Amino acid sequence: MGHAKAGKNGAALHPEAVAAPETVPLASLVSRLGKFSAVESGDTLRSLVRGRRGYDRDTPAWAERGDLASIVVIESGWAYKFAIMHDGRRHIADFFGPGAICNWSRLSRFEEQDDILFKGGASVTLLEPGLLDEKLNEDASLASTIKRHELARAMRTTQRIRAFISLPAMERTLLLLLDFADELRTVGKAPDWIHTPFAQAELADMLGLTAVHVSRVFKKLVDTGIIVRDGNSVRFTDRRRIERDLAYRRFFQARRSP
């Protein structure tokens, strides 16, 4: 992941990371929510749009400076939530793929004071927080859909945290890759090839490892035939088996066509 072939802003060179700017806003989010409800919620949500924004290079947004006053929804590309620790290390607590809501949750409405970094090539839609709350109070079906979506994220995070605290590096890394695949599945892609624009140093800050060790873990995973790499992307040779071995629980199931 983040291999040199993809360039400095890896995502910018990949079609799925720059496709969105001309599409209808919130397409990714609406597609995600469709996995949790048959009700079409696009029009309601689109009435809350306050603006859009694209990032051609990695761009941090600082909570303190009010950069995150609007609700941010990823249209395309990726972002992550991070914090600097007392020893100077950066910890990345969560990541966001297309359709994810970065800085709002009805489950835990308190201020997460974490900052967010938008990866180069990402584009986002901004929503009005007050209006969203209002809509959700009116529209119980939409509220319940969003709640189930948030719930799935929360449970996936719980599963990941458990692994990152207790398991060795290889299993942590595999589980993170499975989470990436899960995140991609949310927007209808059930990709063999898992692609994200994250650099190994960023993976390290998610995993609680060093970048050097992440590199070695990937090498070992390739050498033992567990994954195949092509530039920025990764493929499991037998994903089912890995999921079984790790007791991995999927939270974003592909939905039968209605």
Partner DNA sequence: CGACGACTTGACATCGATCAAGCGAGGTGG
Partner DNA sequence: CCACCTCGCTTGATCGATGTCAAGTCGTCG
Query: Interface residues with a copy of itself (CB under 8 A)?
Result: 83, 85-87, 89, 91, 93, 107-110, 112, 151, 154-155, 158, 161-167, 205, 207-208, 245-247
Nearer to a copy of itself, 60 or 208 (CB): 208
Chosen from DNA, a copy of itself, none, partner binding at 216 (C-beta under 5 to 8 Å by type): DNA
The position carrying tokens 């799935």 is 152
CB atoms inside a 10 Å sphere around CB 52: 15
Nearer to a copy of itself, 126 or 226 (CB): 226
Nearer to a copy of itself, 142 or 184 (CB): 142
Chosen from a copy of itself, DNA, none, partner binding at 193 (C-beta under 5 to 8 Å by type): none
On the CB side of 110, CA atoms within 13 Å amount to 0
Shortest CB 137 distance to a copy of itself, Å:
14
Contact 161, 135 (CB under 8 A): no
Chosen from DNA, a copy of itself, none, partner binding at 86 (C-beta under 5 to 8 Å by type): a copy of itself
Contact 195, 14 (CB under 8 A): yes
Contacts to DNA by CB under 7 A: 1-5, 7-8, 168-170, 199-201, 208-213, 215-219
The position carrying tokens 């607590």 is 93
On the CB side of 64, CA atoms within 13 Å amount to 2
Rounded to 5°, the CA angle 116-68-81 comes to 20
Shortest CB 87 distance to a copy of itself, Å:
7
Q: What is the distance between the alpha carbons of residues 64 and 95, in angstroms, rounded to a whole number?
A: 20
Nearer to DNA, 37 or 210 (CB): 210
